[in-house]
Amino acid sequence: MKTYLVTGGAGFIGANFVLYMLDRYDDVRIINLDKLTYAGNLENLTAVEKNPNYRFVQADICDKEAVSALFREEEIDYVVNFAAESHVDRSIADPQIFVKTNVMGTVNLLQCAKEAWQVGDDTYRDGVKYLQVSTDEVYGTLGETGYFMETTPLDPHSPYSSSKASADLFVKAFADTYKFPVNITRCSNNYGPYQFPEKLIPLIMNNTLHHKPLPVYGDGMQVRDWLYVEDHCKAIDMVIRSGVLGEVYNVGGHNERPNIFIVKTIISYIKEHVDPEVGEHLITYVTDRKGHDRRYGIDPTKIKDALGWYPETTFEVGIKKTLKWYLEHKDWVEHVTSGAYQSYYQKMYEGK
Ligand code: NAD
Ligand code: DAU
């Protein structure tokens, strides 16, 4: 039995990872530590809450006492750090919480894991590993050609990506200074079930269903490289099991699409399957995001060649599965968008 400390496991990707792992393996125990911010939701985890190999702990990754206590209570083999403030627009409005959670929280986790796992000078219990879930945004932006490789210099632009790049550098510093066993994964844009509706795909879906304006930033020709969330979970599972210590792995499936294409795809799906009244008249071009990165594109050659990873879900299949999931989970969308999210939305999109 291997015990994973998964942080941020009540959010979008973290919850998908917990479900993915407990669905596939009987010899995996998951301790899910999550602060339950606006983005964390225990409803995402009802399928596993009674599983004897699962434990949920509400805590902040910045809380040294709480994290150290968990390392004393459980024999943790792996840390997988998903916990973060993850939304670029929020980071532009208020950067400080991004520094606290994404940078200081990561350093606290590293420190607690190091203290728990250390058996001698720069030596650690056999088989342990810390995996930092990072993002392609740390590389900055691409022009019309080329791809991000693991060797691409870090060049973050937003407060969010700067905080994630800083966290990556601390993970590297722990490996370089203390020979601490780590991996970093840098993935492109995920989509799929349980994504909070502040992000492009679920936001456009929700607005289309409600005949609300569809906010497209700038000219809508920014390109993102979309990956179905389960394929990201598979990559993380493989890197934990087989990744070479100290290495960074880029994760992406060559699914580059301009934002306007995504928006039009969602409109036509809803028009065909739900409501013939919706249409492209809902598209509303709005002021561009400050410092908006133009294009992301991942070169996944390393993880493919080294670990045999490949994406299983094409964009055409994945987007239909995702839109179907949101249609079947309107209650979930209602729950997570009530309360504090309403005031965020009004401030961000309606100037209130
Ligand atoms: P999310 O915002 O949906 O979820 C974040 C989770 O972290 C929530 O459950 C939240 O409650 C928890 N959290 C926040 N602050 C915390 C704290 N101080 N202590 C404990 N828990 C805390 O994010 P996501 O989209 O699922 O992203 C997860 C991770 O993957 C992040 O590190 C993000 O940078 C990275 N990532 C995301 C994408 C993407 O497309 N969404 C792509 C690549 C990498
Ligand atoms: O690339 C990985 C990153 O992808 C992750 O590290 C981040 O955590 C995740 O939030 C995501 O960042 P993006 O900024 O790319 O995702 P978002 O869904 O916010 O926006 C996707 C694109 O759509 C981006 O170019 C901005 C644009 N957009 C977004 C929103 C919310 C719009 O045009 N209108 C919108 O209302």
> Is any ligand 1 atom within 6 A of the Cβ of residue 259?
no
Q: What is the pLDDT of residue 79?
A: 98
| 160 among known catalytic residues | yes
Amino acid letter, residue 200: L
pTM (whole model) above 0.85: yes
| 43 among known catalytic residues | no
Q: Which of 34, 85, 137, 168 is catalytic?
A: 137
Q: What is the pLDDT of residue 303?
A: 98
pLDDT in tens, 63-121: 999 999 999 999 999 999 999 999 999 999 999 999 999 999 999 999 999 999 999 99
Please, what are the averages of pLDDT over each run of 10 residues along the chain (352 residues)?
98 98 98 97 95 98 98 98 98 98 98 98 97 98 97 98 98 98 98 98 96 98 98 98 98 96 97 96 98 98 98 96 95 88 84 82
Q: Which of 20, 147, 160, 345 is catalytic?
A: 160
- Architecture of the structural domain at 2-192+228-253+293-313: 3-Layer(aba) Sandwich (3.40)
Nearest-atom number in ligand 2 for the CA of 161 is 6
| 350 among known catalytic residues | no
| Ligand 1 pocket mutation, candidates 37, 94, 229, criterion most atoms within 8 A of CB | 37
- Give the burial class of 336: count Cβ atoms within 10 A of its Cβ; 0-12 exposed, 13-18 middle, 19 or more buried: buried
Q: Looking up tokens 């005031």, which residue turns up?
A: 343
Q: Which of 77, 85, 136, 256 is catalytic?
A: 136
Q: Looking up tokens 């627009």, which residue turns up?
A: 89
pLDDT in tens, 214-237: 999 999 999 999 999 999 999 999
Residue-range domain boundaries for the chain: 2-192+228-253+293-313
C-alpha 51 – ligand 2 centre gap (Å): 34
C-alpha 304 – ligand 1 centre gap (Å): 25
Q: What is the pLDDT of residue 347?
A: 86
Nearest-atom number in ligand 2 for the CA of 220 is 33
C-alpha 246 – ligand 1 centre gap (Å): 22
C-alpha 223 – ligand 2 centre gap (Å): 10
- Give the burial class of 328: count Cβ atoms within 10 A of its Cβ; 0-12 exposed, 13-18 middle, 19 or more buried: exposed
